[in-house]
């Protein structure tokens, strides 16, 4: 299940279309889940427990840790997890930090 601002959930096809644009896809599953179920292409894994800290990091440190440019508060970001519960929490965290 995928969550994007203003869109409660996206289908995989909608996500694929979005990924053709400049959208950052953050997978908030645990690393053990990624190892078990596989990584989604072109996504960055930031487990939910690290997300609030990650979104407040220095951009240089963010790039070092996640090998990805840190999103600005106006960049489009999509969160995903296994069932949709964590991605909704992630969306709430990001919104509360000022991401739109």
3 included as an active-site residue: no
Q: Note the helical H segments in 19-84.
A: 31-37, 48-54, 59-66
pTM of the entire predicted model: 0.84
Q: Check residue 5 and give its pLDDT.
A: 53
- Return the closest-CA partner of residue 68 out of 81, 79, 54, 82: 54
Domains of the chain: 12-97 (3.40.250.10)
Task: Evaluate whether 44 touches 65 at the Cβ level (below 8 Å).
Answer: no
Task: Evaluate whether 2 touches 83 at the Cβ level (below 8 Å).
Answer: no
Under the banding of pLDDT at 50, 70 and 90, the label for residue 14 is: confident
pLDDT reading at 3 higher than 90:
no
CA-based torsion, 39, 44, 16, 33: positive or negative: positive
Residue range 23-80, pLDDT digits in tens: 889 999 999 999 999 998 889 999 999 999 999 999 999 999 999 999 999 998 999 9
> Of 15, 81, 90, 94, which is the active-site residue?
81
């Amino acid at each position: 299940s995928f969550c994007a601002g203003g869109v409660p959930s996206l289908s995989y096809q909608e996500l694929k279309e979005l990924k053709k644009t400049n959208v950052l896809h953050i997978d908030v599953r645990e690393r053990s889940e990624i190892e078990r179920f596989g990584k989604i292409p072109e996504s960055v894994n930031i487990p939910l427990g690290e997300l609030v800290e990650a979104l407040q990091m220095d951009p240089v440190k963010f790039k070092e840790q996640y090998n990805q440019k840190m999103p600005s508060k106006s960049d489009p970001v999509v969160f995903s997890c296994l069932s949709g519960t964590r991605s909704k929490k992630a969306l709430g965290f990001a919104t509360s930090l000022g991401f739109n």
